[in-house]
Structure 1
Amino acid sequence: MQELYDMAFTRHERAAAKRGEFAAAWGTYVDGHPWDIDVRNVNPCTLEVLAVMREPAPVEMALIFSEWLAALRAALDNGLYALAATLSGRNPPPQAERIQFPICTTPREFKQQSNRLSMLPTHVVEALEKSQPYQSPYGPESNLTYWIHELARTDRHRSLHVGLGRIDAHRIRIAVPPGVKIQFDETVTPYRQIEGELIVGRFTCSRPIAPREVQADLRGVAIAPEIQAWAGFTLNGSTQSLQDRMIYTEIFTRNHLENLAAMGNVTPIGGFTTIDPGSKNDVSQVRMAE
């Protein structure tokens, strides 16, 4: 059943290609300078600098992200199907229509889904349970496999995911009339997505000043891509760029696929990069590829 595994790993590789397409589409989008700078008075002496979205991210980005999600979700399902076929020696395996890689947020939900996997040996179901999002110490939403399922489910049944800009680097310069002293409000740390507009700076002047007297230079503000529904994600308590999240998600997905291949005594395309098949297989563990 090597060819079934090969197809699952090929789907996974397709996701990396889609990530590259997503980055290229983002580059084209930002080349059009889709954000403006606005300066407004809070009071006569205090002003705010805002990044204002002039043009939303193109639907093309949402479509590419959709294809990235679909490739990863399908790879997991294909990998489990390949294992079921290998263990049964039949293609299609018994009850093939019931086979889907389970991604659950509670033990109860996993128990319900595992009832659909009666064609698999107990040790395989137990291994799958170890990888479930509810096993994560920081909660299900800190698990990248959870997000494959959640984002793909929303994408399939509701709507494409909205692309946004996110402040990744924050350094602004302000020019004011001679003799005016300014003090920046250091509590403004806008490391988040721009939804319509976002305050990127606030400062107080030594005398009343109008916005037209201010020149704002935002070349030190870096805006990276973001997906609205995924913007609040943290990994081990830390925020990650969308690019890093996508890469880590691909690594974790490959880890699941490699464990499925190891349980079927099959060598995946590219060999084993996230597990040592000579040791006890444990899908809750990931050795990051260097």
Structure 2
Amino acid sequence: MQELYDLAFARLDRVSVKRQEFAECWAKYISVHPWDIDVRNVDACTLEILAVMREPAPVELALIFSEWLAALRASLDNAIYALASAITGQNPPPQAERIQYPVCSTTAEFSRQAKRLAMLPMHIIEALEKSQPYQSPWGPESNLTWWVNELARKDRHRVLHVGLGRVDEHRIRIAPPSGVTIKFDEAVEPYSHIELELVVGRFTASRPLRPREITADLTGVAIAPEIQAWAGYRLDGRRQSLHDRMVYTEIFTRNHLENMALMGECLPPGGFRTFDLADPEGGAQQAE
């Protein structure tokens, strides 16, 4: 059943193309400088600096992300179909219409999903269970495969995922009037996504100031792409850029496919990349 595995990996290989297309679409969007800077008084001596979105991200960005998600999720389903065919020696395998790759948040949910895979032997079901999101030490939502399933499900059945900007680098320079000193409010959390507007800085001056009396230089503020529904993702309390999340998700998805190829005694195109077959634990890698 090598051909079935080849097709599953071919689908996975398309995701890096979509990721590059996403980056190109983002670069085109930000080339028109779709954010303005606004300075407003909170009170007479305290002012806020805001990044204000004047042009939303194009729908094309959401469509490309949708295609990236769909290819990832489908590659998992294609690979477990290939595994079922390899194990049973049949194409299509028994109960082919029931086969899908399980992505579960609880043991009870996995038990229900496992019933769809009755054509597979117990040792393979147990191996699939080891990589489930609920096995992650920081919970299912720290697991990137859980996000693929969740985001793809909502994209497929509800609505496209909205693209927006997130502050990725933060360095603000303020030029106050002569003789005026300022103190920045360190409680402001600038590394966040911009829906309509975002406070990127707040400071208090030594005397009352109006916005027109100061000059704000935000050339040190970099805005990176973000997906609204994925913006809150944290791994062990740490945030990751969307680019890193996408790259790691692709790697972990390939890890799942390689494990299924190993269980089906087939060879992934290009060989095994995410684990070393010389390592006795190599075929049991778990993706977070």
Regarding TM over 0.5, the answer is: yes
Q: Output the amino acid matched with 2:169.
A: A
Partner of 2:20: 20
Distance in 2 (alpha carbons) for counterparts of 1:275 and 1:284: 7
Partner of 2:255: 255
Distance in 1 (alpha carbons) for counterparts of 2:15 and 2:228: 20
Distance in 2 (alpha carbons) for counterparts of 1:277 and 1:122: 22
Partner of 2:158: 158
Q: Alignment RMSD, CA only?
A: 1.3
The change in CA–CA distance for 1:284 and 1:132 in structure 2 (over 3 A counts) is farther
Distance in 1 (alpha carbons) for counterparts of 2:100 and 2:136: 21
CA contact (8 A) 1:262 1:281 kept: no
Residue 239 of structure 1 aligns to a residue in which SS? coil
Partner of 1:79: 79
Structure 1, residues 186-245: CA drift from partner, whole Å, max 9, x if none? 221311101100000111111111111121111000100000100111123211000000
Partner of 1:207: 207
Partner of 2:99: 99
Distance in 1 (alpha carbons) for counterparts of 2:4 and 2:237: 37
* Structure 1 alignment gaps of length 5 or more: none
Give the TM-score normalised by structure 1: 0.96
Is structure 2 residue 266 aligned with structure 1 residue 285?
A: no
Residue 43 of structure 1 aligns to a residue in which SS? coil
CA contact (8 A) 2:275 2:285 kept: no
Distance in 2 (alpha carbons) for counterparts of 1:182 and 1:86: 69
Residue 150 of structure 1 aligns to a residue in which SS? helix
Partner of 2:218: 218
Distance in 2 (alpha carbons) for counterparts of 1:10 and 1:47: 54
Equivalent pairs counted in the alignment come to 287
The change in CA–CA distance for 1:164 and 1:19 in structure 2 (over 3 A counts) is same
Residue 275 of structure 2 aligns to a residue in which SS? coil
Percent identity over paired residues:
69
Distance in 2 (alpha carbons) for counterparts of 1:259 and 1:15: 19
Question: Matches of residues 119-268 of structure 1 in structure 2 within 5 Å?
Answer: 119-268=119-268
- Measured after TM superposition, the shift of residue 285 of structure 1 is 3.0
Distance in 2 (alpha carbons) for counterparts of 1:93 and 1:37: 59
CA contact (8 A) 1:15 1:72 kept: yes
CA contact (8 A) 2:25 2:61 kept: yes
- Measured after TM superposition, the shift of residue 282 of structure 1 is 4.5
Residue 238 of structure 1 aligns to a residue in which SS? coil
The change in CA–CA distance for 1:234 and 1:255 in structure 2 (over 3 A counts) is same
CA contact (8 A) 1:18 1:64 kept: yes
Distance in 2 (alpha carbons) for counterparts of 1:147 and 1:284: 18
* Structure 2 alignment gaps of length 5 or more: none
Partner of 2:112: 112
Q: Output the amino acid matched with 2:232.
A: G
Is structure 2 residue 273 aligned with structure 1 residue 273?
A: yes
- Measured after TM superposition, the shift of residue 185 of structure 1 is 1.2
Give the TM-score normalised by structure 2: 0.97
